[in-house]
């Protein structure tokens, strides 16, 4: 059983999609339970895999018994072991947390929603575990296509925003596919480790350089690095809230993981960081992404839209940390993948809770919200503090590593951008705290929101609050156990040649 964890992690959600689709036509209440069972098995297998990795350093699984480079191999090491657990945990927690909200928003389409949900998780988990470059493309498209459909189910301008996302996402994925084509042309292999063993002999080749550039361009579009971010804000704003609290934490972060995988495993650090000019210019690109993302976030007037721009700024953190090319920067970037996924989940879940109770998420609607929804807003404070980077939340420690990486690399532009973005985040979130805590809610608003006994208190149902509290506490736990995560896992994920 435990030998087959790498396969189970993908296969169980994939098969469950068919059952959920069937259950959607027969008995809608079953859909949620099938999805929950499937994702629980994935979570269980991913934790099992991480434990195996801690013991044996690496777990390799040959699909159908075909040895690589002919067959597809799934390979889990320290780097993707930890990302895998984060992804599986987030998709499971979000599923449980949004049950009520899905029932409210998709009364007729529950079966379809959960089918897309588990397929999306299949794709994302697959991207993380696979050790085959072409297999990664297929799983990337599974995740993207279901993501488009989930976003398209939203309100207002969702179909148009989703269609724009389709165009940009397809260009990104196609560029990645083209890059893999050139890699195949140069090496004759698609297995990541096999490519890595052949490449050092032909590093001078222009084909390899072209493959590197094209793959990176594709990944940059997919992770919405500025200036390729235009698809993200609209798609995230109009998407249904149960879907976006899944998509926002996972898609972009997993693409950053893929970039790290390509730099460290496929192209090896000596090639990736070979040219100072290249890595420095990518760090500057990240700096621009951080600054522009933060400033644009400042000019937004609704919660989800503001959070979308923060996601763009956070991508800059990770890309910059990766391209610093030193141990502290990479540690920060990998740690931030996990922390950022958790805190994005936390704040987007709160946005979902707010939309569950209120008509909209513009700042005017948030007045007096601490009184109305104390628990949701309490979790929001934890998430916000983590995004700002206040100890002991996880966000503080990853930012600490990123900043010390920037100082070690002598890249002070990146350090200043990080501090600037933290300050902007302080303004962003304390403005919301002020509106929600001090400004009295408009009177007609209250009477609308009062329940039968005339109480103003009206938080989200318990089923939504408990998972949210777990996520909020998890943020603090991640912060407290940072040292364990770094010394037990992340430091082994970075090759020894990087100092």
Residues that bind other proteins (CB under 8 A): 134, 137-138, 141, 145, 148-149, 152, 157, 159-160, 162-163, 166-167, 170-171, 174, 177-178, 181, 184-185
Q: Helices in 62-191 by DSSP H: which ranges?
A: 78-97, 99-105, 110-129, 133-152, 158-187
Q: Shortest gap between Cβ of 136 and other proteins (angstroms)?
A: 12
Give me the residues paired with residue 191 across strands.
Answer: 132
Structure tokens that stand for 220 in this block:
């940059």
Q: Shortest gap between Cβ of 181 and other proteins (angstroms)?
A: 6
What is each CA distance from 173 to 38, 78, 84, 230, 278, in whole angstroms? 27, 26, 21, 16, 23
| Residue recorded with tokens 């103003």 | 456
Closer to other proteins by Cβ: residue 162 or 365: 162
| Residue recorded with tokens 């993200």 | 232
Residues 6 or more apart whose CB falls under 8 angstroms from that of 23 comprise 30, 31, 34, 111
Q: Shortest gap between Cβ of 160 and other proteins (angstroms)?
A: 5
Closer to other proteins by Cβ: residue 182 or 380: 182
A 10 A CB-CB count for 418 gives 26
Q: Shortest gap between Cβ of 363 and other proteins (angstroms)?
A: 19
Closer to other proteins by Cβ: residue 167 or 412: 167
First to last CA, the chain: 39
Structure tokens that stand for 209 in this block:
């350089």
Are the beta carbons of 317 and 329 closer than 8 angstroms? no
Closer to other proteins by Cβ: residue 145 or 258: 145
Closer to other proteins by Cβ: residue 40 or 163: 163
Q: Shortest gap between Cβ of 251 and other proteins (angstroms)?
A: 16
Structure tokens that stand for 411 in this block:
């890249």
Q: Shortest gap between Cβ of 143 and other proteins (angstroms)?
A: 12
Closer to other proteins by Cβ: residue 171 or 295: 171
Closer to other proteins by Cβ: residue 167 or 457: 167
Structure tokens that stand for 182 in this block:
């050139």
Q: Shortest gap between Cβ of 348 and other proteins (angstroms)?
A: 23
């Amino acid at each position: 059983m435990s030998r087959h964890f790498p396969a189970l992690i993908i296969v169980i959600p994939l098969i469950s999609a068919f059952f959920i689709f069937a259950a959607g036509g027969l008995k809608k209440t079953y859909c949620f339970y099938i999805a929950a069972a499937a994702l629980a098995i994935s979570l269980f297998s991913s934790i099992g895999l991480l434990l195996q990795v801690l013991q044996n350093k690496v777990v390799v699984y040959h699909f159908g018994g075909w040895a690589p480079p002919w067959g597809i191999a799934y390979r889990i090491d320290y780097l993707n072991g930890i990302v895998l657990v984060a992804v599986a945990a987030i998709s499971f927690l979000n599923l449980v947390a949004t049950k009520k909200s899905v029932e409210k928003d998709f009364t007729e389409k529950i079966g379809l929603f959960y089918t897309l949900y588990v397929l999306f998780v299949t794709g994302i988990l697959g991207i993380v575990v696979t050790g085959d470059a072409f297999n990664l493309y297929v799983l990337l498209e599974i995740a993207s296509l279901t993501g488009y459909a989930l976003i398209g189910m939203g309100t207002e301008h969702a179909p148009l925003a989703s269609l724009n996302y389709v165009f940009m996402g397809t260009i990104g994925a196609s560029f990645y596919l083209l890059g893999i084509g050139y890699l195949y042309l140069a090496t004759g292999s698609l297995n990541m480790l096999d490519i890595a063993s052949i490449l050092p002999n032909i590093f001078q080749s222009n084909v390899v350089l072209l493959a590197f550039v094209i793959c990176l361009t594709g990944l940059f579009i997919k992770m919405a690095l500025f200036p390729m971010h235009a698809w993200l804000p609209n798609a995230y704003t109009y998407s249904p809230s149960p879907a976006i609290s899944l998509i926002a934490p996972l898609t972009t972060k997993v693409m950053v993981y893929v970039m790290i995988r390509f730099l460290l495993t496929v192209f090896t650090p000596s090639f990736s960081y070979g040219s100072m000019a290249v890595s420095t210019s990518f760090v500057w690109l990240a700096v621009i992404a951080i600054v522009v993302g933060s400033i644009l976030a400042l000019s937004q007037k609704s919660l989800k839209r503001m959070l979308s721009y923060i996601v763009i700024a956070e991508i800059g953190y990770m890309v910059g940390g990766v391209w610093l090319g030193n141990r502290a920067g990479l540690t920060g970037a990998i740690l931030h993948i996990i922390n950022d996924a958790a805190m994005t989940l936390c704040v987007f879940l709160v946005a979902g809770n707010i939309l569950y109770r209120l008509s909209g998420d513009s700042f005017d609607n948030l007045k007096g919200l601490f009184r109305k929804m104390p628990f949701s807003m309490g979790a929001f404070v934890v998430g916000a503090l983590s995004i700002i980077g206040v100890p002991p939340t996880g966000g503080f420690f990853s930012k600490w590593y990123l900043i010390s990486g920037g100082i070690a690399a002598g890249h002070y532009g990146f350090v200043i951008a990080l501090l600037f973005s933290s300050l902007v985040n302080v303004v962003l979130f304390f403005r919301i705290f002020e509106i929600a805590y001090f400004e009295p809610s408009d009177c007609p608003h209250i009477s609308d929101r009062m329940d039968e006994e005339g109480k103003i208190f009206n938080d989200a149902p318990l089923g939504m609050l408990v998972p949210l509290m777990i996520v909020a506490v998890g943020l603090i736990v991640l912060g407290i156990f940072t040292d364990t995560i770094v010394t037990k896992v992340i430091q082994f994920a970075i090759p020894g040649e990087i100092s």
